[in-house]
Amino acid sequence: MATTARHHLNQIIESAIDFAIVVTDLNGDVTDWNQGATNVFGWESEEIVGKTIECIFTPEDKRIERAQEEMRLSVVDGRAEDERWHLRKDGSRFWASGEMMPLRDEAGGHQGYVKILRDRTRQHETGKQLSEFKDRFETLLETVDTAFAIVEVKFDADDRPVDYRFIEANPAFERQAGVNLRGKWVTEFAPDLERFWFDTYGRVALTGEPANFESYAEAFGRWFDVRAIRVGKPEERQIAIFFNDVTDRRMAEERRRASEATARENIERVQLALSAGAIIGTWNWDLPTDCFTVDEAFATAFGLDPELGRTGLSLAEVVATVHPDDQAGLAAAIDSVVRSGGAYAHQYRVRRVDGKYYWIEANGRVDHAADGTPLRFPGVLLDV
């Protein structure tokens, strides 16, 4: 298996033309520098090892501490991509595409960073082989957070991709997939996988054109950020896949969009209520102290002492007029928004000063501190 893995690794490196590989410690000081990096930047290994990686960044990027930002993002997101100008030893610039990833030991400890960079100007020959760096690169594939696999794409008689088999996969791939897929065809465990995945990987295997995309796999119920490149000889129909599970980020974005939509709807309702004169009153709840203040209109509507409304009531005093059948639902809605933060809207019945129950809608929001601590809960009551 190790010999096979090295064979496929050789294929990747032989196919990765114009790639420089730079390894740094936690401070950003260079610890390894391959021949490809020498070809691209001009520095020999003995000239650059021990120096800061900032030397390959332009003056304007140094001023904004771009190297440090890439290191930070690589830890937070698993990798930090860049498309920017870089500097050679002679001071000339070239446009590069690359990414930085955290380097970890077998126990998962953070050891440093690896930056893999492609010279897109193609002004320097990079024909020298990366043989002295193959063992290091193999270790990197085993330790980076980005999932990696090599697959063989299967085609029918009409060159239509119909399946693909996992030949190699690094530990990160198996962690994200949740199973050991080596040697298995994807249709064995995901028979309903969308056609998109076969067509995309098949196109890469046939044409050699890389693919970079983000898509949802219904069969796995996950979102993936994927890069795919062809490796080996074209007739072998093999591709290397790098991917990250971005489901949590996509779900967070969806929750944010939903929250923003709810907030917009609440604003529209309040604006309509203002136009119709349906505002009952406003409140502000200081959550750390459980101090609930209301305006005079709110206090008058529910027979509360306006002076206490100004100085502060407890939540229990305020909700005492809520209809018994609605108290549990109101408590659950309040508890939910206090924990999650953001927009709030809830309808329930309350007993007003005339002794009758009326339907109202409470609209507001909960503000959290940077550490997630609930701070304040302002809002408005509408007569519905």
116 part of a folded domain? yes
Total number of domains in the chain: 3
In this structure, are 272 and 369 located in the same domain? yes
Contact (Cβ atoms closer than 8 angstroms) between residue 37 and residue 169: no
In this structure, are 264 and 235 located in the same domain? no
135 part of a folded domain? no
Which pLDDT tens digit goes with each residue over 220-273? 788 888 889 998 888 889 998 888 888 888 888 877 777 776 666 555 555 544
Q: Where do the H-state alpha helices sit in 27-115?
A: 35-41, 45-48, 59-63, 66-77
Q: What is the pTM of this model?
A: 0.37
276 part of a folded domain? yes
Helix (H) or strand (E) holding 252: helix 247-276
Q: Where do the H-state alpha helices sit in 64-223?
A: 66-77, 134-143, 171-177, 186-189, 195-207
In this structure, are 35 and 91 located in the same domain? yes
Chain-centroid distance of CA 305 in Å reads 50
In this structure, are 180 and 231 located in the same domain? yes
User: Residue 330's domain is classified under what CATH number?
Assistant: 3.30.450.20
141 part of a folded domain? no
Contact (Cβ atoms closer than 8 angstroms) between residue 312 and residue 304: no
In this structure, are 16 and 61 located in the same domain? yes
Q: Percent of the chain scored above 90 by pLDDT?
A: 33
Which pLDDT tens digit goes with each residue over 267-309? 555 554 444 446 788 888 889 988 888 888 888 888 888 888 8
**Contacts (Cβ under 8 Å, ≥6 apart) of 233:** none
In this structure, are 90 and 166 located in the same domain? no
Domain of residue 239: give its range. Answer: 147-245
The domain boundary, picked from 129, 157, 172, lies at: 129
Which pLDDT band, with edges at 50, 70 and 90, does 25 fall under? Answer: very high
In this structure, are 54 and 97 located in the same domain? yes
In this structure, are 18 and 123 located in the same domain? yes
139 part of a folded domain? no
The domain boundary, picked from 245, 276, 295, lies at: 245
265 part of a folded domain? yes
Q: Helix (H, G, I), strand (E, B), or coil: what is residue 224? A: strand
194 part of a folded domain? yes
Which pLDDT tens digit goes with each residue over 112-155? 999 988 777 764 333 334 444 455 555 555 555 677 888 999 99
Which pLDDT tens digit goes with each residue over 133-144? 455 555 555 555
231 part of a folded domain? yes
